[in-house]
Amino acid sequence: MQKTDPLPGPRMPNQLFFPILRRSGVFGIVKLAPSLPMSPISQLTVDSSQSTAEPSASDRPSYIVDSDRYSRQILFPGIGAAGQQLLSTSHVAIVGCGATGAATASLLARAGVGTLTLIDRDFVEPSNLQRQVLFDEADARDSLPKAEAARRKIALFNSTITVHPRIADLIPANIDELLAPSGGRPVQLILDATDNFETRYLINDYAIRESIPWIYAAAIGGYAATMNILPAPSEHRTACLACIFPKPPSGPVETCDTSGILSTAVNLAASLQATEALKLLTGQPHLMRRTLLSFDLWNLAGQGNLDRSEIATSTPRPGCTVCGERIFSHLAGEGRPHITLCGRNSVQIHERHRPVDLPAMRERLTQNSDLTDVRSNDLLLRFRTRRGDHTLTLFADGRAVIQGTTDITLARTLYARFIGS
Ligand SMILES: [Zn+2]
């Protein structure tokens, strides 16, 4: 089934689109926890000495030359040698390095996009391995931060590109820094691979303000959805996220917890997103799709038919507060609650203003008889409570994930007790 609907007018928002949104899982990837006071700044924690350095010439395999590596892609008329050259000088930021982000990063790294910035706040767990294609069992065993695990894996199959891992939660206070130019190359495109709509609205605000294209992508259950957003002054300007969905959904939404997820749906979303990225980066924005496209790959009622729907996004909505009136409320930090992470019984907390000395913290926690399994690596520290069986994972920026509860108050209490206030 296919249908193409006109862009909604300002008076036809939620009733029409939220059923589609909910059905297709457009937004519904996280549960929101009750609001807490604004969190302090999350900062970069990655060790730049090992993670952001471009491979030296001696590191690069002499037996692989780019003309060979990319030969099949160059043969494709849509790319060609000129397109391949453009890819090599491109800089793309991928926000989120879970299922969608890992798949998209893998595709673009193999395609030869010269610089990738990978932003992710999370670490690899066993339940990720079903769908997150850049991670392996050792990454899960070591609880490696996903951005760093992705960098290491990409370096194994394309050591000629530059990958900047950023272990951080993208928030208003750090978005300018995380999406800053690198090596003199500004971010040309932002790819959404997040699991929550707060971050998507934040990306939308930033992209419209800075006139940087971005591509929304989401998957849940057997659904996949994606949309290209080209801001002004592009002659190919489209509607923005807030044109289509002026407000985030209210009430319960589907999450990975409640609906599960098919890896194939994720890979479809990533594949569509990466293809649109290649069009943009090779200077062909006129070829980019101008719809919000969604698929149901496991259509119970479809009797074998793929359920596909499209909503036109060619024209910005008159009166849109973001791309029309340029009011960037999400960049201003309004309405950002603390978040319960997707797929786990856990809470993320920001409480600190300054980086944590992980070795010193480990030393202190090891002395605490209420704790067990205190482990750490260069990037994070993890320990478990003897009573209650809560696991706390502390990052070097002071951010923590408390597993074993969705109770914000309890999570804050545990943080204050063991990590400090
Ligand atoms: Zn708009």
Q: Following DSSP, what letter does each residue of 354-384 receive, concatenated?
A: S---HHHHHHHHHT-TTEEEEEE-SSEEEEE
% of the chain with per-residue pLDDT over 70: 79
pLDDT at 58: 53
Is a pLDDT exceeding 90 seen at residue 315? yes
pLDDT band at 258 (very low <50, low <70, confident <90, very high): low
Confirm whether 351 is domain-assigned: yes
Of 286, 305, 306, the residue nearest 295 (C-alpha): 306
Cβ of 188: how many Cβ atoms within 10 Å?
18
Classify residue 332: in a domain, yes or no.
no
Q: Bigger pLDDT: 172 or 257?
A: 172
Catalytic member of 256, 320, 323, 342: 256
Sign of the torsion formed by the C-alpha atoms of 19, 20, 26 and 29: positive
Residues 84 and 193 in one domain: yes
pLDDT of residue 336: 58
Residue carrying structure tokens 């990306």:
203
Q: Do 273 and 349 lie in a common domain? A: no
Q: How far apart are CA 150 and CA 54, in angstroms?
A: 15
Residue 25, judged by CB atoms within 10 A of its CB (0-12, 13-18, 19+), counts as buried
Per the domain annotation, does 325 fall within a domain? no
Report pLDDT for 320.
Answer: 97
Asked if 214 contacts 280 with a C-beta cutoff of 8 angstroms, the reply is no
327 alpha carbon – ligand 1 mean position (Å): 10
User: What is the CB neighbour count within 10 angstroms for residue 213?
Assistant: 24
Asked if 149 and 217 sit in the same domain, the reply is yes
**What are the residues whose beta carbon lies below 5 Å from ligand 1 (ion)?**
240, 242-243, 320, 322-323
Determine, yes or no, domain membership for 319.
Answer: no
Amino acid at 157: F
77 lies in some domain? yes
Do 167 and 209 sit in the same domain of this protein? yes
Position 318 in a domain? no
Note the pLDDT of residue 355.
Answer: 76
Q: What is the DSSP letter of 34?
A: P
Q: Which of 312, 333, 363 is the last residue of a domain?
A: 312
pLDDT digits (tens, 9 = 90+) for 178-222: 999 998 999 999 999 998 888 999 999 999 999 999 999 999 889
Judged against a pLDDT cut of 50, whether residue 139 lies above it is answered with yes
pLDDT at 397: 79
Of 293, 312, 331, the residue at which a domain comes to its end is: 312
1-12 mean pLDDT? 37
* CATH number, residue 61: 3.40.50.720
Say if residues 367 and 355 touch (Cβ distance below 8 Å): no
Reported confidence tier of residue 300, pLDDT bands at 50, 70, 90: confident
220: CA distance to ligand 1 center in Å?
A: 25
- What's the whole-number mean pLDDT along residues 379-386? 90
The verdict on 305 and 352 lying in the same domain is: no
Name the residue among 387, 397, 391, 396 with its Cα closest to residue 411. Answer: 391
Q: What is the pLDDT of residues 64-83, one digit of tens each?
A: 888 899 999 999 999 999 99
Separation of 161 CA from ligand 1 center, angstroms?
Answer: 34
pLDDT of residue 409: 78
pLDDT of 308 higher than 60:
yes
Please report the pLDDT score of residue 235 as a whole number.
Answer: 95
- Report, as an integer, the average pLDDT of 135-162: 95
Ligand 1 centroid to residue 8 C-alpha, Å? 12
pLDDT confidence bin for 59, thresholds 50/70/90:
low
Q: Which residue has the higher pLDDT, 81 or 3?
A: 81
**201 half-sphere exposure, CB direction, 13 A CA radius:** 24
Q: What's the domain range around 403?
A: 345-418
User: Is 256 marked active-site?
Assistant: yes
In this predicted model, which residue has the larger pLDDT, 43 or 379?
379
Q: Residues 105, 106, 109, 113: is their CA dihedral positive or negative?
A: negative
Same domain flag for 399 and 263: no
CA 95 / ligand 1 centre spacing (Å): 20
State yes or no: pLDDT of 166 exceeds 90: yes
**pLDDT tier for residue 282 given thresholds of 50, 70 and 90:** very high
Q: What does the angle CA 236 – CA 241 – CA 246 come to, to the nearest 5 degrees?
A: 130
| Conformational region of residue 112, where left means phi above 0, alpha means psi within -120 to 50, and beta covers everything else | left
* pLDDT on residue 218: 92
Looking at the structure, tell me whether residues 260 and 404 fall in a common domain: no
Q: Which of 275, 52, 55 is nearest to 156 (CA)?
A: 55
Residue 322 lies in a domain: no
In degrees, rounded to 5, the angle at the alpha carbon of residue 25 between the alpha carbons of residues 24 and 28 is 160
HEC string of 223-285 equals EEEEEEECCCCCCCCCCCHHHHCCCCCCCCCCCHHHHCECHHHHHHHHHHHHHHHHHHHCCCH
Question: What is the model's pLDDT at position 45?
Answer: 34
Reported confidence tier of residue 420, pLDDT bands at 50, 70, 90: confident
Query: Is the pLDDT reported for residue 87 higher than 70?
Result: yes
pLDDT value for 284:
98
- Write the CATH number for 378: 3.30.310.10
Residues 354 and 307 in one domain: no
Residue 314 CA to residue 230 CA, distance in Å, equals: 10
Looking at the predicted structure, is the pLDDT value of residue 32 above 90?
Answer: no
**Residue given tokens 């695990």 in the structure block:** 149
With cut-offs at 50, 70 and 90, classify the pLDDT of residue 27.
very low
| Within a domain: 339 | no
The per-residue pLDDT for 411 is 84
**More reliable by pLDDT, 230 or 8:** 230
The answer on 251 and 196 residing in a single domain is yes
On whether both 66 and 146 belong to a single domain, the answer is yes
Q: How far away, in angstroms, is 349 Cα from ligand 1 center?
A: 31
Q: Are residues 350 and 284 in the same domain?
A: no
Going by pLDDT thresholds of 50, 70 and 90, the confidence category of residue 20 is very low
Number of domains in the chain: 2
CA angle 178, 184, 186 (to 5 degrees): 50
Which residues neighbour 62 within 8 Å (Cβ) at sequence distance 6 or greater? none
Given a contact cutoff of 8 angstroms between Cβ atoms, the answer to whether 278 and 79 are in contact is yes
Distance 347 CA to ligand 1 centre (A): 32
CA of 239 to the centre of ligand 1 (A): 5
How does the average pLDDT of the chain come out, rounded? 82
Q: Do both 403 and 275 map to the same domain?
A: no
Flag the least confident range among 19-33, 125-139, 253-267: 19-33
Contact (Cβ atoms closer than 8 angstroms) between residue 196 and residue 228: no
Residue 205 Cα to ligand 1 middle (Å): 9
337 pLDDT more than 80: no
